Each structure stands twice: as structure tokens, then as C-alpha cells.
Structure 1
């Protein structure tokens, strides 16, 4: 339990006592910090410590009611405060998936002094997402589910009915077994927890965010079978990184990259980490 910004966050801190560096791992919807369980061992074996918090809305002690405070800026402030509370003041390596990537892009763009490298998983720079939504009907269709998630009450009712059947169905292309899916779904069967998770969508700005380019060394990992994020935004992402950049495309892989291909993701993270050594 880490006290930060008046909240209590559940945080997993693992790795060697004499770690050569720290990797901050940010999860997305509808998961939690355990989504990195299969990725972390390779990072630890490389001499790195990992910090994996359950973000606001997911940590029971960090669940404000107002959807307006579920933003990338607030998520970034949470992440930095967690690092400070743990006594980690030097630059760390940053990794984020899904909403964790949205927070990560903001963090990397606005606080480059706090991060040595940035590995974004699945979600590209928000200006690339905005471009795709403005120009690509395919991406607009892929993002249509967000409309439901933004409706208080209706979204909760829909996702919780039949013991979370629709929540479980979100992982239908992940290859995860029922026990692993339940590791993510079971905490969200508590309505307050699900509302906290959905509040990220309700805090989402409708217009394109004014996010500057990222200047630190960046890797963007995208999978061609991602149902939510198409190729237009993925290929546009490079235009919003001015530092060293690599685009890693995983073929035949769904949105759930850390669960489905943890070894390949860990390799991409370590390649980026080692490039900054």
C-alpha cells in the first residue's frame, strides 16, 4: 500500500535488491497491475526492478467519485507521486498498455526528465488516435464501444449482468483461460470498482488533446489483430516522436499483448531499455 496524493494505491514492487534501474508498468482497462505478471520475470532477470500500481479507480483507496479527475494528467501525477513515495527519484523506464499507454504518452511528453525510455503498448500517441478518428471510418467503428462506456449506470448494468458475461467476452480473442480472465473480471464485479474503471472513459476529452511530441527514446508495440486500434493510427504514431523511435508490429496477436506475447513484449522493452544504457 502506497500513500500518494491523499490516496492509497495498491502497488507491486518486485525485482533484485541491487537493481540497475526501475521499470514503471501502467495497466489499462479492464485489467490491473497483475497483467504484467508474465512480463516482469524477464525484466527482473535483466537486473531491473518493476513497479506496477493499480491505477486510480482500480485501487479501492484511490477511487474518487468525479469522472472529471480521471485524466492522463491526473494519472501521470499519481504515477510520479507513487515513485516519490517509494523513494525512486531518478529517471525510470516507462511502459504502459491501453489506458496505461494513454497516461504514459502524457507522462513522457510532459515530464521527460523523469523517464529514460518509453514503451507504449497498443495505443499510439493521442494525436495519432485523433487523426485516425478524423480520417478513418474503420477506426471510428472500432471505437464505437466507448459511447456505451461513457454512460453512467447503463454501462455498469450492461457489463455486470449475467455475472459479468460481457466483461469476460472482452477477452474473447486473448487466448486466456477462464482463471486468468477471472483474475481481471472478479475485482470489477464490485459495482464501485467497475465505475472507477469506467470513469477513465467518462473523463475522456472529446476533442484531440494538445499533447506535444515525445522527445525521449520510444518504442511503440502494436498488434495487427487489435480489435480496438487499427493500422492508420499505429502508422501515424511516428510523426509524434522526435526522439529515437521504433515501431514493433506483432502479427497475429490481439489487443492483449502482455498476456498473449509476454516474451516478445519483454524483448521489445529490454531492447529499448538497453538502447539508453
Structure 2
């Protein structure tokens, strides 16, 4: 793997690259509170299959730039970052694979820039229209999404998250995943990333922007690119009821439930996820 920095959309992103430089471009987009390392079990198999794999630390995370202000983290801006990466790779299109917030960015990119997306793979996050509907109307999902409201508070979430050697974030990863999913060595990698200057505030600003800075673009509701939705059924944060309505909004979509997996599906079921990815792409 090659670690480099790529200029895109007015900022500089740290990007891990692997695979042949003349292979089809595939971009892996991590979520909260991860960074490129969250795809460590997918990078090599995808590169070995012939893909030019780019895995950015998304803006605000780890070694990438962390612009100030909530407005720097709108979903429109995050999607534009991805398009910028595709352009910097010298490609017209890319395969997008996203998990958690990375899946939200992948959905939005496919909706607003369908000509830039070859294929779309999203994990454990619903279509944005479905998410909006459930968060505003479904009591069960509203309870599960309590932390989105908590993250709107100024300064307090950053302070609490950093206490006790990042114990709140580390405990959240451990308690919401299958036992043994995140080792002590893994958590140390995450703590180093969370401790980068300005990282924690920038990471939380993604959540603030989603409520305080709604998107200006009005994308089409239907997703016209081929789409695979992988969903760990034991997700504590997002109800599985949102999965089927999401794939119903895709012209060419497939939904796969992994019944024993949690929200952290690409960690817990890496071999199965990798097989599904390669089958769908090839």
C-alpha cells in the first residue's frame, strides 16, 4: 500500500492506494469514527482482483485536512470531494464502496453525479430519502438516532468523547460489535487517529452539518447506477426496516442481509463481504 496526499475540492486528503495504476478505479469510503484503516481487510483482496483501490481519510479525519466551521462538512461538499478524487485519478468514473457515513456520501454522490459512478456498494446505511423519513416518523429509529441530537451540542461531545483515553468512543465500538471485532491494537490505531489535532471536532461537525447546513442540491430520488446494499442485521444504530425501501429506490439493486453481523459488517464478515463485492463488480 502506498500512502500519499491528493488535492481535491480545495483541500488535501490522505489517501492509501493499492493495486494496478491502470486498473478500474475503486474508492472505499469509511464512516464514523473510523479512517482508512477500517477497510484493512478489503484493500488487498480488491487490489489483487485488479482494481486501482483508493482509500481516503475523508475530510476532517486522521491525516486529511480539517477545515474549520460546520459548513465545511455538508453532504454536497463531501460528495464533491469524491468527484475530485475521481478527476485526480484521471478517470471519468469509479466504483464507490461506502460504510456508515461513507455510505451516506456514496449514496449522495450516486444521486447527484450518476455519470461519475460505475457501480455503488453501500453498507448499513439507507438511501437518504428513507433515512430522512424514518428519523422523522419512526419512533424506534428516533430512539436509535439519539446521538445525532447529542452531537449538535457545542463542545460537550468533544470533551466527553476524549475523556479517559477516548473511553467513550472505544466502548461504543466494542459494545456495538461482536466480541473480538476490535482488538486492543486496532483501538490504539483509532485513538491515534482521533487524537490528531482538530480531528474530533471535525468528525462531529459532519453530524452538525447534516441538521444545521442542509444540502443545496436537489438530486434525483432514484438511483440509476447498479447498486448492492449489504446490511448487518444486528445493527444497534439503524433499523433493518430501512434496507428494503432503500433498494426499492434503485433501478438495478440487490439487497443482502448478513443475519449475524452488526453495524460493523466489513470487519465481522470480511470474507463474505469481499466475496459479495467481487461477485457484484465482476
The TM-score, its normalising length taken from structure 2, stands at 0.90
User: Which of 13, 18, 21 is residue 14 of structure 1 equivalent to?
Assistant: 18
Deviations 1:57-80 (A, max 9, x none): 115452111112212210111111
Pair 247,178 (structure 1): closer, same or farther in 2 beyond 3 Å: same
Alignment of structure 1 residues 201-216 onto 2, 5 Å: 201-205=207-211, 210-211=218-219, 212-216=221-225
Aligned to 1:247: 255
Decide whether the 8 Å contact of 1:126 with 1:208 is kept in 2.
no
Unaligned segments of structure 2, at least 5 residues: none
CA–CA separation in structure 2 for the residues paired with 1:79 and 1:264: 26
What does 1:12-161 align with in structure 2 at a 5 Å threshold?
A: 12-19=16-23, 21-87=24-90, 89-161=91-163
Q: What is the aligned-residue RMSD (CA, Å)? A: 1.8
Contact 1:156 1:191 in 2 (8 A): no
Contact preservation (8 Å) 2:98, 2:105: yes
Q: Alignment length, in residue pairs? A: 271
1:219-256 CA distance string (max 9 Å, x none): 111111111110221222123212x1100101111111
Q: 1:198 to 1:75 in 2, by over 3 A?
A: same
Q: Does 1:227 align with 2:233?
A: no
Q: 1:218 aligns with which of 201, 204, 227?
A: 227
Cα separation, partners in 2 of 1:44 and 1:24, compared to 1, 3 Å: same
**Distance in 2 (alpha carbons) for counterparts of 1:96 and 1:17:** 21
Any stretches of 5+ residues in structure 1 without a counterpart?
none
1:263 match: secondary structure: helix
Query: C-alpha distance in 2, partners of 1:6/1:109?
Result: 22
